Amino acid sequence: MDLGDLRREYITKGIARNDLDSCPFKQFELWFAQAQQSEINDPSAFSLATANAAGQPTLRTVLLKLFNESGFVFFTNYNSKKGQQLDENSQVAMLFPWLPLERQIKITGTAEKISVEQSAKYFASRPRGSQLGAWISEQSDPLQSRKVLEDKFAQALQDLSGKDVPMPKSWGGYKVVPTSIEFWQGRENRLHDRFRYDLSGASDWGITRLEP
């Protein structure tokens, strides 16, 4: 299938250097709020790229659950493929593809586990079905059939009826501590606006305009 003619023009007015907050986290918060207000589907969804010690990459979609000026937090099974790769190589990349807004945000940095207490606090706030799903899932392991999964879920419903669902020891959060954050805004004729924040020192961020 030849997709060479599959294209559209970007029509937004773009962004200027003076439009940007000096703090990338505040700029992210602004764009995230605008993404929520636009009612696009799943604005907290992002692509997470990890790699093992040999450099073999893997990509998947996860959900952002918390962000502040210390980093961006998501949750997963630590024994999953992503968890295994993060044990070998903490370098990650994140991509928020807000295509209806003709925007994307790219983040690179390192991932580190958050505390058990922080993970437990979030786990307790999840819907019970999501808690049970995390309790029974051996994420990324081979599965014989859908029925096996549903049987495990039904058994957990029975075993834990009337009880709190314990947080699995293999489940918890990671915080991505960024070293660069890039804001991309589509423009006419593919002359897109791209601004990258780069960390210098402990908390100083420089801003560079990039070629489209």
Identify whether the C-beta of residue 176 lies closer than 8 Å to the C-beta of residue 92. Answer: yes
Pairing of strands 103-113, 91-98: antiparallel
What letter would DSSP give residue 107?
A: E
Instruction: Return the exposure string of 173-186: e unless at least 16 CB atoms fall within 10 Å of the residue's CB, then b.
Output: bbbbbbebbbbbbb
Instruction: Return the exposure string of 52-83: e unless at least 16 CB atoms fall within 10 Å of the residue's CB, then b.
Output: eeeeeeeeeebebebbeeebbbbbbbbbbbbb
What residues act catalytically? 190
